[in-house]
Every structure is written in C-alpha cells, then in structure tokens.
A = this chain, B = another copy of it.
Amino acid sequence: MLHDLFTPSVQHALDLVGIFVFAISGALLAVRKNFDVFGIAVLAEVTALGGGLFRDLVIGAVPPAAFTDLGYFLMPLIAAGLVFFLHPEVERTQTAVNVFDAAGLGLFCVTGTTKAYDYGLGLTSSAVLGLATAVGGGVLRDVLANEVPSLLRWDRDLYAVPAIVGAAMVALCIRFDMLNAWTSGAAVVTAFVLRLFAMRYHWRAPRAWNRRSSAREAPEKATAQ
C-alpha cells in the first residue's frame, strides 16, 4: 500500500525531476574537470542514478529501476546536453541548481526509505538506505572525478543532515502507521527546507574535538583545493 502514496504518474514525475537536477550537478562538475562530452554524460548518469542503483542492489530489486525505465536513462543525457552547450548560463544560475538539488535530496531520501521498507527492510535500515539513495550519487560523482566527496568535508554546508531528518520522518510515520501523501510530502519539504537553510546560513557540522584550531589546518585546506 505504500506504493499509492502519490499516484504513480506524480511519483514518476517527481523521480524524473530529482534525477534531472542531480544529473545537472554531475555534468557541471564534469565541465569544471574539463572532461569531454562522454565524460559529461557518464558523470551525469552516475550522479543521477548511482544512489538508486546502490539501493536496488542492496534490496535485491534487480534489474534496478535505472535499467528498466528508459526515462531514467534519458533524463541525465538531456541534462548533459544542456550543460554541454549552455554551461556558462547554467553555472550563472548556480543558485537555481542548488535549489533543485535540494529538492532532489528531499525527494530521494523519502522515496528511497519507502522503497527499502517495501522490500522488507527494518525501519532503521530503510532510513539508512533512504539516506544512501539521496547522497550516494553525489559520492560516486566525486569519487569518479577524483575528489574528496563533498559529503565528507567539513568545509561544506550540511548535506547529510537534511536527508537524515527526511528519512527519519518517513520511518517514524511508517512506525506509527501514519504514512500517506501528506506526511511524505511533509518529509520531502522538511528535508528540502533544511538544506536551503543550511546553504543560506552556512550551517556546518563540527569536526572532531580539538581539531578546530589544529596546526594541520593549513595543509588540509590546501588539499581541499
């Protein structure tokens, strides 16, 4: 029954939006790394579909949705084409891209948690997989681009926390039998808004105790490029 949270077509449209905006972020990084047109397409696909692919392999949903739904595959190619021709314009709208990326984060943490639970995982595991769905593509993007995943770096605004909150909200709603289109939507919006606030006010997570004024700061910053 979890499936009819949204009508299938609404759900599918939301998925495609999330895939598109994640693909944009992958394609933009590829342009910055000076990759060729195929590198741009590959990084767009990996960023957009990597998180869901990991989730589907873990829950045993093979072949993964990324390989059964042609729209999931084509959307990143469209994003890659847009960025290929219009990247200065797209970069100028970085704020818009960030807002859409936040929307993708909110959507994916909710749909990922729901799908994992549908496949029989426990509530905690489902929430963890929801988080992995939301952030996995970005981690793969950074690994392929040979960079430290921005998810892990202290000098980036909070990214995991909004997704954790959204996934936890879904898990709690399932626990108390309250999951429906409204509560799911509320979880999406909460994650989305938290991420917007994190970017607006540069919320950051603490580093390990005693690291804050550490002597290693300088070299670390250097590697952080």
Contacts and interface: CB of A to CB of B under 8 A. Distances in A.
A73 interface: yes
A35 B67 contact: no
Interface in A122-173: 122, 124-125, 128-129, 139, 143-149, 151-154, 160-161
A181 interface: no
A155 B223 CA distance: 21
B208 A38 contact: no
A197 interface: no
A24 to B, nearest CB: 13
A139 B39 CA distance: 11
A30 interface: yes
Contacts of A153: 34-36, 39
A124 B73 contact: yes
Given A34-B207, A153-B36, A70 B143 contact: no
Contacts of A204: 36
Interface residues of A, number: 66
How many identical chains are in the complex?
3
Contacts of A35: 152-154, 207
Interface stretch (A5-13, A58-66, A104-112, A186-194): A58-66
B208 A83 contact: yes
Interface stretch (A14-22, A93-101, A209-217): A209-217
Task: Name the residue among A83, A145, A153, A154 with the largest chain B CB count within 10 angstroms.
Answer: A154
Nearest to A125: B67
A141 to B, nearest CB: 11
Interface in A27-68: 30-40, 42-43, 53, 57-60, 62-64, 67-68
Given A39-B154, A68-B122, A70-B124, 18 more contacts: A33-B152, A34-B216, A34-B220, A36-B153, A36-B205, A36-B206, A37-B205, A37-B207, A37-B208, A38-B152, A58-B64, A60-B62, A67-B129, A68-B121, A86-B209, A87-B211, A88-B210, A146-B147
Give the top 8 A-B pairs by smallest Cβ distance, nearest first: A39-B152, A60-B62, A36-B154, A36-B205, A34-B220, A67-B125, A38-B160, A31-B208
